[in-house]
Amino acid sequence: MNINAFSLENKIAWVTGASYGIGFAIAEAYADCGATIVFNDINEELVNKGLKAYEEKGIKARGFVCDVTDEKAVNELVKTVEAEIGTIDILVNNAGIIRRIPMTEMSAEEFRKVIDVDLNAPFICAKAVIPGMKAKGHGKIINICSMMSELGRETVSAYGAAKGGLKMLTKNICSEFGEFNIQCNGIGPGYIETPQTAPLRERQPDGSRHPFDQFIISKTPAARWGKTEDLQGPAVFLASDASDFVNGHILYVDGGILAYIGKQP
């Protein structure tokens, strides 16, 4: 087998919302495999924070202030990248938000906001990069889904609806553009230690673990939360030539939660 199939040399990767967290870890892995990194975040402070973090890792990334829900701004970003760096070979739709609110207490506006960032924006960003990928004859689109693409739980109705829709958007991009050698797959992280899940892991006043933290440990065969590094290998695989015949697939990187009924209390 040609192990260079996992190389990302001469590839341009755009990872959305990648100043820190899962997006940063994926972009770092891509850079380690030879890719040129482009990332965006929602404000200049975050972009500068990200640029500093990439620099500390020896990565020369290009950062853009861009709200992924703003189609005009997204198209401008892609146009600038294509003019100044080159056609985007790899898009990772990573930017996302969650609002943990009981459904009957959630406003329609709050629901729409989550759908806008977590589902509409991946559509906007994919639509922006596909023409370049078609012209170049290849492309990789990776949507960061979730276990909530498969399961529900209290207080995350908007997030689950968005991530379930993102799973199906992944399958539709696969269906519509596979003939142009564009592969669109998803990564479904389990429970990962990032700022987004920090509230679920906060120590209790008596120093004990958060009840939800204990719950996730009991539901995970690996008996631990995931780390962003756990996602790097799967993300490189889906961005590389090694996955050219993998399309429309959601790769769950969850330590086995989705396969496990949970440890008996």
196 binds ligand GCO (CB under 6 A): yes
Q: Contact, 253 vs 154, CB < 8 A?
A: no
Look at residue 126 and give the partner it binds from ligand GCO, ligand NAP, none, a contact being a CB closer than 5 to 8 Å depending on partner kind.
none
Residues catalogued as catalytic = 159
Q: Contact, 12 vs 87, CB < 8 A?
A: yes
Q: At what angle do helices 157-177 and 121-136 cross, to 10 degrees?
A: 20
Q: Which of 39, 191 has the CB closer to ligand GCO?
A: 191
Total residues binding ligand GCO (CB under 6 A): 13
Question: Collapsing DSSP states into helix, strand and coil, what is residue 265?
Answer: coil
List, as own/partner pairs, every contact residues 131-134 make where C-beta atoms lie below 8 angstroms and the sequence separation is at least 24, other chains included: 132/78, 132/82, 132/87, 132/88, 133/87, 133/88, 133/89, 133/177, 133/180, 133/182, 134/177, 134/180, 134/182
**What residues make contact with ligand NAP under the rule CB under 6 A?**
16-17, 19-23, 40-42, 46, 67-69, 94-97, 117, 144, 146, 189, 191-192, 194-197
146 binds ligand GCO (CB under 6 A): yes
Q: What does the chain come to in residues?
A: 265
* Contact flags string 75-104 toward ligand GCO, x per CB under 6 A: -----------------------x-x----
Could you say which of 147, 182, 187, 238 contacts ligand GCO (CB under 6 A)?
147
- Min. distance of Cβ 150 from ligand NAP in angstroms? 11
Q: Which of 220, 240 has the CB closer to ligand GCO?
A: 220
Look at residue 54 and give the partner it binds from ligand NAP, ligand GCO, none, a contact being a CB closer than 5 to 8 Å depending on partner kind.
none
252 binds ligand GCO (CB under 6 A): no
Question: Collapsing DSSP states into helix, strand and coil, what is residue 171?
Answer: helix
Residues 6+ positions from 258 with CB-CB distance below 8 Å: 147, 150, 151, 188, 190, 252
Give the interface with ligand GCO as residue ranges (CB under 6 A): 98, 100, 146-148, 153, 156, 159, 189-191, 196-197
